[in-house]
Every structure is written in structure tokens, then in C-alpha cells.
Amino acid sequence: MSEEASVEKIDESLPSDWVNGLPDKLKDAPFLRPTKDGTIRTVDEVFSALENAAKLQGNLAESHIKIPAPDAADTDKSAARERILSLWPDLREVTEGEDTLPPAEIAGYKLPEGGDVLDATMVEDIAKFALEHKWGQKQFSDYAAKMIETQAGSVEQASQWQKDQDTKLVEKFGEAKAERIARVASAMEQSGATPEYVAAIKEGKVDADLISVVDTLVGKMIAMGEEGSQFVQQINTDARAMTPAEHKDRANELWLALQDIPETSHKYAETNRKRMEHIGLSMAQ
């Protein structure tokens, strides 16, 4: 006879208050005591509950985790932690004091030191990503720190590049640097360049070689005099500073002129004085 048939037979042979004949300890057992509304459980109900409990106990052998007491040995706590992580791989073990909970909104994240190199849009994008993935403050700070390091490197590189361009322009134009940059900016503006690009030229944020090439072209057109275009005349100025190379050329011209002037002449002294000035400026950086 099967187990199920046996249960049915017992159930039919006992009155509804069959538990009254059991020892008091059994009467109070969770599977035998009456339900909340006072109904006496049937043998079939008790047997089903015990069977489910047995199955659950078998499952717990695989998934049960015993939480160690606060005063338990470190080895017991470590074993429990390892078992939890093995049963739940998605969990992340954190260090003491780490803020693992995300803030209520992106404004709750705090940038680590040096965060001022990041623009507002980048910070907002990082914070949105962090909140969507439920990052805590430490995760946000670690990621933001990498972005800060990258951005700081870019800023330093850009700063060095601009210094290099300025050095090139000083070597090329000397005291005429500011005027030549202004002349190139004016030429580009007349050519239809955007206000932003013209401003970048004036601030020295444009490649020095480009400025030099444009200045050379403008200079050649200016040298055409009356044949020069109206465009060139608009960007030229009456008083023009000279580059070191031009100072050198002018000094040579004055040296040749001195050969035809008597040394006792006042004009000789004045011409020679100007020649010496041009020599000094040709060596200025």
C-alpha cells in the first residue's frame, strides 16, 4: 500500500480533533497546532507540511548560511563571508567605512581633489552614469579621479603647446609679435573667419607656423604698394614694428649708406646711431 493511501486511511479513521490525544509537546509543534482561526489541521495537511519541511531542509544544506555572532572568531566570520560571496557572486566586498549607497540625486556625489579641471557637462555625465548603476561615493570618486588625471594631462599638454607657439612667434617677430598677430587676425577677419577663430589668433591659440605663413603673404602684398589690393590696405597699419631679420637687413642697408657719407658729417653720426639700434634689435629675442 502506498504512503498516500495510508495517509488517506488514517485521515478517514480519525475525528477532526484527533490532535487532542497527542502529548502536549506535540500539540504545540508548529505543524500540529491549530491555524490562526482555530481550525484543527488534518493528518493530510500535517503530513504535507512535514514533507515540504524535509525538502526545504535538504535545500538548505546547499544554500544555508549561518550568520556568526558579533563575538565570533575572525575565522568563522571570514568563512561566512566567503560562503555568502560564493552563493551570491554579484555582491561586492567593501572596505570598512566605504559609502556603498548611491545618493538620492546626482548632486549628492562629491568630486575628489582636482575636480575643477573637469567641465560641468563632463561631471554631470559621470554622475548620471554613476547613479544609473547605483554607484556609491567611493566608486564615483575612483572613476572621477581617472578622468581628472586624464584631463589634467590634456590641460598641461595644451599649456605647453601654447608656450611653444609663443616661443616660435617671439623668435620670428621679436618686438613686432603683437602687431604681426594683430595683422594676421585682421587679415583672417577680412577673409571671413569666425569671431571665435579671430579671437583664438589674438590669444595666441593658433599654430605659430600658420600665423607666420599668413603674415608673410600679407607682407608680400603690402610690398606691392599701389598695386596691392584694397584688402591688404585695410589690414596694414601706418607704423609697423620690425622683426629681428628686418632689423638686420636695415642695419646692413645703413652700413652701405654710411660708405657715401663723410665721417665728420652730422648725418654720419645719426645714420650710424640708427644702424647700431637696428643691430641691437636684430639680436633681441
Average pLDDT over residues 141-161: 82
Q: What is the pLDDT of residues 224-255, one digit of tens each?
A: 655 455 555 555 544 456 678 777 888 888 88
Identify the CA nearest to 209 among candidates 157, 160, 165.
165
Block residue for cell numbers 602684398: 221
- Cell (9 digits) for 123: 561631471
Q: What is the pLDDT of residue 197?
A: 84
pLDDT of 30 > 60? The answer is: yes
Q: What is the pLDDT of residue 7?
A: 43
Mean pLDDT value across the chain: 76
What is the residue extent of each domain of the chain? Answer: 1-93, 100-240, 245-282
Q: What is the pLDDT of residue 10?
A: 40
Q: How far is CA 122 from CA 104, 118, 127, 163, in A?
A: 20, 6, 9, 26
Contact 212, 172 (CB under 8 A): yes
Residue 10 has φ and ψ, to the nearest 5°, of -65, -40
Residue 251 has φ and ψ, to the nearest 5°, of -65, -40
Q: What is the pLDDT of residues 38-96, one digit of tens each?
A: 788 788 888 788 777 766 665 555 666 778 888 888 888 888 888 887 877 767 666 55
Average pLDDT over residues 129-142: 88
Average pLDDT over residues 126-149: 88
pLDDT of 276 > 70? The answer is: yes
Please tell me the distance from the alpha carbon of residue 32 to that of residue 45, in angstroms, as a whole number: 9
Q: What is the pLDDT of residue 239?
A: 40
